[in-house]
Amino acid sequence: MKLCKYVKKLLIERFKNDFFKVITIFLSRIIFLTCLMSNLLVFHVITIILKSKIYVMVKFNTLIAAFLLLVNISISAQEQGFQFKIVKEINTSPVKNQQRTGTCWSFATTSFVETELMRMGKPVFDISEMFFVRHAYASKGRDYVRYQGGNNFGQGGQAHDVMDVIKTYGMVTEQEYSGLNYGTDFHAHSELAAVLNAYLDAVVKNPNKALTTAWYPAYNSILDTYLGAAPDAKKSTLANVGFNPDDYVEITSYSHHPFYSQFVLEIPDNWAHSLYYNVPLDDLIKTIKNALMNGYSVCWDGDVSEKSFAWSKGVAVLPVEKVEEIAGSDKDRWVGMTDKERKAKLTSFEAPVPEIMVDQSKRQFTFDNYTSSDDHLMHLTGLATDQNGVTYFYTKNSWGTEGVYNGYLYMSEPFVRMKTIAILVHKKALPEEVAKKLGIK
């Protein structure tokens, strides 16, 4: 505000003529409004211009030129792209790459476990994702046959799959088990998945009219051939790290089941039919923020099929689709655009845009009509804000270190409110009142 007054004073002093003073006052009003919308750097530029010899000759066209310059600077300031400020960042392990596999669930949750061990004061471990994949495939195949082909089988999974493997078998390091036993130095599971599906479907058809005892050992032999035989985790350097999978809970938020209770979340990749705690949407977001602010990272499962999940831009947002959905003073800037211009602007992902206000009913609607599904798991490791004060979740992906933010992206709060399927978090990271309502101690 002081800077705005200073600029106005300079203008008045420059232009003593009454006619130009009227125009100058009008111009100063524009500057005042610009002050409210743009950053201070812009006004340092304006002040320098006013102090320069450009205005030695007082002419009307000079004023017009100055006005156009100010307008141009103001527009540029508004279109300066995303500017993020990290509010909280949790120390984590290096970004990895799931490569040509559908095992994001293992990579995201493994990153989460590595980060939890760091929080506990342990060294930075490189834990084997494929150890969890190998054991999960064994259980998944067995269940597929038991359900006579009626259970989901594929590369996908959930965060609890990693926890279940740790609980039953433990965990090992990447050095102890790479899961690369098929002639390449990178993960590629398309052939493996096709072979496993074909084999299991042949078993389910039951051509002998009674399953033999050979089918399951033969199935595991395929896994061992492609991924390698799983080592004994009791001999691993991770055998005594003190990680307890029972300290963690999965939480979701859908109104087709009672809140503050548990239910089997109806998503394909919940092949194990595991239970999730159900809370209202506001409690879900409160839990995520409380965890991050208190040093606990969050394993995130959600939908990334929207075009607004702009990985190449490093952001995931939820732009409004209609002018009527825009609230506040920002609306005026969008009303004057044609539908084509507005759509192009909202989907450019070059700078912050008005976003949808997400409530429980909108979230439920997208789940019920299949526009929100369990596409991808990632790891939330921080909180940030943009230049407009909107909250974003600093998110660690498993697609390598490429991208605008070296393997990370920023997901806006509206996007997270709408597109989160579920989270995995430490029990102690829950807000006290949420834990109490869920009966978690």
Phi and psi dihedrals of 203, rounded to 5?
-65, -45
Residue 18 has pLDDT above 50, yes or no: no
Give the model confidence (pLDDT) of 182-232 as tens digits.
999 999 999 999 999 999 999 999 999 999 999 999 999 999 999 999 999
Residue 337 lies in a domain: no
Q: Last residue of some domain: 47, 78, 109? A: 78
Lowest mean pLDDT among 19-33, 124-138, 260-274, 306-320: 19-33
Residue type, 33: L
The b/e string for 214-229 (b: 16+ C-beta within 10 A; e otherwise) is ebeeebbebbeebbbe
6 and 71 both lie in a single domain: yes
96 and 56 both lie in a single domain: no
Residue 314 lies in a domain: yes
Residue 325 has pLDDT above 70, yes or no: no
Residue 207 lies in a domain: yes
Q: What is the CATH number of the domain that holds 157?
A: 3.90.70.10
48 and 115 both lie in a single domain: no
pLDDT tier for residue 344 given thresholds of 50, 70 and 90: confident
Residue type, 107: F
Q: List the beta strands (DSSP E) in 317-389.
A: 376-385
157 and 227 both lie in a single domain: yes
115 and 47 both lie in a single domain: no
Average pLDDT over every residue of 312-330: 71
User: How is 102-133 classified by DSSP, letter by letter?
Assistant: S-HHHHHHHHHHHHHHHHTT-----B-HHHHH
User: How is 282-320 classified by DSSP, letter by letter?
Assistant: HHHHHHHHHHHHTT--EEEEE---STTEEGGGTEE--B-
- As a whole number of angstroms, the distance between CA 306 and CA 310 comes to 8
Give residue 343's pLDDT: 65
Give residue 341's pLDDT: 62
414 and 432 both lie in a single domain: yes
Q: Last residue of some domain: 39, 63, 78? A: 78
Q: Last residue of some domain: 57, 78, 99? A: 78
Q: For the chain, state the CA radius of gyration.
A: 28
The first and second tokens of residue 255, run together, are 């109104």
Give residue 7's pLDDT: 43
200 and 184 both lie in a single domain: yes
Residue 57: give the domain boundaries.
Answer: 2-78
- As a whole number of angstroms, the distance between CA 417 and CA 237 comes to 39
Between residues 218 and 26, the one the model is more confident about: 218
Give the model confidence (pLDDT) of 39-54 as tens digits.
443 334 344 344 444 3
Residue 69 has pLDDT above 80, yes or no: no
Residue 70 has pLDDT above 50, yes or no: no
Percent of the chain whose predicted confidence (pLDDT) is above 90: 74
- As a whole number of angstroms, the distance between CA 191 and CA 414 comes to 38
Give residue 326's pLDDT: 45
| Residue 330: its H or E element | none
Question: Which pairing describes strands 408-412 and 85-89: parallel, antiparallel, or unpaired?
Answer: unpaired
Residue 253 lies in a domain: yes
Give the model confidence (pLDDT) of 156-184 as tens digits.
999 999 999 999 999 999 999 999 999 99
* Number of domains within the chain: 2
Phi and psi dihedrals of 216, rounded to 5?
-75, -45
CB neighbours of 45 closer than 8 A, spacing ≥ 6?
73
What are residue 377's DSSP bridge partners?
301
pTM of the model: 0.81
